[in-house]
Amino acid sequence: MGNPVAHSKSPVIHDLFARQCGVSMGYQRIQVDIGGFDQAVSHFAAHDGAGLNITLPFKVEAWKLCRRDPNSLTARAELAEAVNTLKFYDEGSIQGDNTDGVGIARDIEHNLGLSLAHTRILVLGAGGAVRGVLGPLLECGPEQLHVVNRTAEKAVTLAHRFSQMGFDCISGGALDRISGQFDLIINGTAASLGGELPEIDAGCISSRTLAYDMMYSDEPTLFMKWALDKGADRAADGLGMLVEQAAESFRIWHGLEPDTAPVISYLKKS
């Protein structure tokens, strides 16, 4: 469920997973009107729906819906304050989870081969997309995770929230006040959507840097091109994250672990 949802690659991804695992299921895009989310979920559950993925702009509404019953949120969804996966149980209960953070961590560690333990990570942006991935990234044990945002207070508040939970390596600040170089720079701002670049100094890039854009598109994104031009070792978009978060949702619904590599290469070619 989302709005808009016509562009979503998720039905193709889940069809490929289902075929691979011998599961019979239907997965369709459901466009939901703004203001109609709770009703759409009730209608889906009442018609024997087994599970949902939730995308923009409803992830926070899905979290609020689950929050009504304190037992229905997983710890990582609670931390993210956003839900992208719902599972419905026969007795009428519901579970809300967030697989985005696991998705990005697996893509970076397994698919791109960068082990995050003891690395220096810079995260650009402090909106919903970033809040959803910080917990799992921090759990990988980086040496430092610095979050910066155009509106600096938002990054500072977000970092403070996570440091209070015991993650000592996190700090927050302004986009135009970054010091040092980073092994991994993640663009989690909405800047690319408007064809813009977050305004950061290229001094944070070294010849070892992996530049990662959480957005995906057919062409390398503006951020990826910029980072490579400034001397980054390599750049990736969020296609692998999309497939990995889908795989985690699939596991939640079916208890099966699909192989993501052939699905990622299929999507890259198509």
Binding site for ligand ATR (CB under 6 A): 125-130, 149-151, 154, 189-191, 196, 198
Asked if residue 57 has a cis previous peptide bond (ω within 30° of 0), the answer is yes
Choosing from 59, 64, 154, 269, which is the catalytic residue? 59
Nearer to ligand ATR, 191 or 264 (CB): 191
Judged by beta carbon, residue 176 or residue 257, the one nearer ligand ATR is: 176
Q: For residues 180 and 120, what is the distance between their CA atoms, to the nearest angstrom?
A: 9
How far apart CA 175 and CA 198 sit, in angstroms, is: 8
CB nearer ligand ATR, residue 116 or residue 222: 222
Residue with smaller CB distance to ligand ATR, 143 or 196: 196
> Which residue has the closest beta carbon to ligand ATR?
127
- Pair 238, 9: CB distance under 8 Å: no
Active-site residue flag, 59: yes
Which stretches within the chain are classed as H helix? Answer: 10-21, 37-46, 59-67, 75-80, 100-106, 128-139, 152-164, 222-229, 239-254, 261-269
Q: State the minimum distance, in angstroms, from the CB of residue 208 to ligand ATR.
A: 24
- Least distance (Å) from ligand ATR to the CB of residue 125? 4
Who's near 8: CB < 8 A, 6+ residues apart? 2, 29, 55
> To the nearest whole angstrom, how small is the minimum distance from the Cβ of residue 266 to ligand ATR?
26
Contact 124, 99 (CB under 8 A): no
Please state the closest distance from residue 190 (CB atom) to ligand ATR, in A: 4
Q: How far is CA 98 from CA 21, 95, 128, 248, in A?
A: 22, 10, 12, 9
Residues annotated as part of the active site: 59
